[in-house]
């Protein structure tokens, strides 16, 4: 900046000595003074310290933005992992429900062969409970027939509503 001031000073001196421009000297000096203040203000604003502070501030802001973006990426990954886990659990639960339904169907088909009659409850129950009554045993082809017993032909084996 000092070289610029020297250059301006030399031009002003040249204008003072020039015969046709001598009358412009007061206006030029005033303009040069204004330029000097503007140049000093610009030098203060764009000094090495000011520029270094601005660069440090922007670097810090960039680091904050980078950390924020990393946090967002981690949050997105965590959300995707949780969604995948939830979908896996729902699929496993659906598979387990289908397996339970198949087992229930197999059991309901097997019980009459074992000599049990499967009844239905008149009232819905929260848990899946099937009431069963023992049917008259089927005669085995090689065993002798049991004698009929006095009393009810069937009796409940599993209560339809547990009493506590």
| Model confidence band, residue 159 (pLDDT cutoffs 50, 70, 90) | very low
Query: What local confidence, expressed as pLDDT, does residue 9 receive?
Result: 72
Query: What local confidence, expressed as pLDDT, does residue 61 receive?
Result: 97
- Please answer whether residues 110 and 116 qualify as being in contact, where contact means their C-beta atoms are separated by less than 8 angstroms: no
Query: What local confidence, expressed as pLDDT, does residue 35 receive?
Result: 72
* 114-121 mean pLDDT: 77
Task: Determine the Cα–Cα distance for residues 8 and 115; give it in Å rounded to an integer.
Answer: 119
DSSP code at position 164? -
Query: What local confidence, expressed as pLDDT, does residue 92 receive?
Result: 97
* 137-154 mean pLDDT: 54
For residue 27, the Cα-to-chain-centroid distance in whole angstroms is: 69
Summarize pLDDT for 21-38 with one digit per residue, the tens. Answer: 666 666 766 666 667 777
Q: How many residues does the chain have?
A: 164
Tokens, residue 102: 């198949």
Q: 148 φ, ψ to 5°?
A: -65, 140
What residue ranges in the chain does DSSP mark as E strands? 116-118, 132-134, 156-158
* 89-108 mean pLDDT: 96
Q: Which residue has the tokens 């848990």?
A: 127
Helix axes 2-17, 25-45, angle to 10 degrees: 180
Query: What local confidence, expressed as pLDDT, does residue 40 receive?
Result: 76
* 59-85 mean pLDDT: 97
């Amino acid at each position: 900046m000092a070289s610029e001031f020297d250059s301006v000073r030399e031009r002003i001196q040249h204008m003072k000595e020039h015969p046709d421009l001598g009358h412009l000297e007061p206006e030029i000096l005033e303009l040069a003074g204004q330029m000097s203040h503007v140049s000093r203000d610009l030098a203060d604003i764009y000094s090495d310290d000011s520029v270094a502070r601005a660069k440090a501030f922007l670097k810090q802001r960039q680091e904050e933005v980078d950390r924020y973006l990393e946090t967002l990426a981690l949050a997105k990954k965590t959300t995707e992992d949780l969604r995948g886990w939830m979908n896996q659990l729902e699929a496993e639960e659906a598979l387990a429900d289908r397996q339970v339904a198949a087992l229930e169907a197999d059991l309901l088909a097997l019980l009459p062969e074992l000599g049990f009659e499967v009844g239905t409850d008149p009232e819905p129950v929260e848990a899946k409970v099937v009431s069963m009554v023992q049917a008259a045993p089927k005669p085995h082809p090689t065993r002798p027939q049991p004698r009929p017993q006095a009393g009810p032909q069937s009796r409940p084996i599993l209560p339809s509503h547990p009493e506590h």
